[in-house]
């Protein structure tokens, strides 16, 4: 029995040593990622601020990006698709609500 307890205690000691080494590695990895994650967090905060305070500015920027990528035709096609989707969803919801 003592031999088994000694073996378990030795294994526990090895595990604790490995845990300490892994904890050290995680600290190093965390310090490497701290600056990039802080930058990403600031970017998300800026986008959230603009979306809440200036939605037309964000919509304009998206429209310019789409126009630059697809041209005016792509922008018109996108708006037309959104409009058709909205109308389809509106008629579907009206039919579903009328059944109740």
What is the mean pLDDT for each group of 10 consecutive residues in the chain (100 residues)? 92 97 95 92 89 83 75 78 88 81
46 shares its domain with 63: no
Please give the pLDDT value at position 4. 92
Please give the pLDDT value at position 5. 93
Domain of 87 in residue numbering reads as 55-100
Please give the pLDDT value at position 97. 83
Please give the pLDDT value at position 71. 75
Please give the pLDDT value at position 100. 59
1 shares its domain with 49: yes
Number of domains in the chain: 2
6 shares its domain with 48: yes
Please give the pLDDT value at position 42. 94
Intra-chain end-to-end CA distance of the chain, in Å: 72
Q: Is the dihedral of CA 91, 92, 93, 95 positive or negative?
A: positive
46 shares its domain with 20: yes
């Amino acid at each position: 029995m003592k031999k088994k307890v000694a073996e378990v205690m030795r294994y526990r000691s090895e595990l604790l040593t490995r845990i300490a080494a892994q904890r050290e590695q995680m600290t190093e990895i965390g310090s490497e990622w701290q600056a990039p994650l802080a930058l990403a967090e600031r970017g998300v905060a800026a986008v959230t601020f603009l979306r809440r305070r200036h939605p037309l500015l964000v919509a304009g920027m998206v429209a310019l990006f789409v126009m630059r990528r697809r041209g005016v035709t792509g922008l018109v096609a996108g708006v037309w698709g959104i409009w058709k989707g909205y109308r389809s969803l509106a008629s579907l919801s009206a039919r579903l609500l009328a059944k109740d």
